[in-house]
Structure formats: structure tokens, C-alpha cells
Amino acid sequence: MVDAAELIDNDFLRQFEMKIDNHLAKIEYSLQERKIFLTKLIIPEEIKSEDFSKEFLATVFEQIETRNLSVVPTSPEIAKFVRRNRKYKRMLPVGVRI
């Protein structure tokens, strides 16, 4: 499902967006220096599933990694994703533990 959709970084609204079947999944963020704070995960009920959430978050993390930014997940759902996917822990800034 995620493979066919395009991830958009909406700089104006400060959110990553992905449209699936006319529903908009998004992650709100705040950018400070070389860190991106992922503050809120919003996935509409119509497309919400554990598989979609994982794929969506993985796609966002891959996009962030290409920019060489550190990630600070302040949303509980996103922090849980990082805990379960150790490969993304390397993207946390020094001193931040999850």
C-alpha cells in the first residue's frame, strides 16, 4: 500500500504526508538545527493498521536519513517504533535514549 504512495514533505505545514485512498496520513515535525522532532502521528481510522504504520514510519525515517538529520521522537507511537526497530536508534542524537 505504501509502495504506490508518494511521501511528501510539506515544509509550509511542517509535516510529512502520504495520501492513501483519499485519506491523508501525516507526521508533524519541528526542525531545529540538525535535529528533527517528530511530534505527532496522525493516521485516519480508514487506513490505520499496524503494517501501514510501520511502512509509513520506515519511509519517513529513510527520507530523514538522506538529509543526515538526527531524530527526536516526542510522540509515544513514534518512540515505540524506534524501540522496536533498532536500526533507527543510530539516528537519535547523542544523549537521547528511548
Domains annotated for the chain, with CATH where assigned, are 7-91 (3.40.630.30)
96 phi, psi to nearest 5 deg: -95, 125
Confidence of residue 4 (pLDDT cuts 50, 70, 90): low
Is the Cα torsion angle 38, 16, 86, 43 positive or negative in sign? Answer: positive
Dump strand ranges (E) for 1-98: 7-10, 15-20, 23-32, 35-42, 70-73
pLDDT in tens, 48-81: 888 999 999 999 999 999 999 999 999 999 999 9
pLDDT digit string (tens) for 21-52? 899 999 999 999 999 999 999 999 999 888 99
Does residue 2 register a pLDDT over 80?
A: no
Instruction: Please determine, for residue 3, whether its predicted confidence score (pLDDT) is greater than 70.
Output: no
- Which pTM value belongs to this model? 0.90
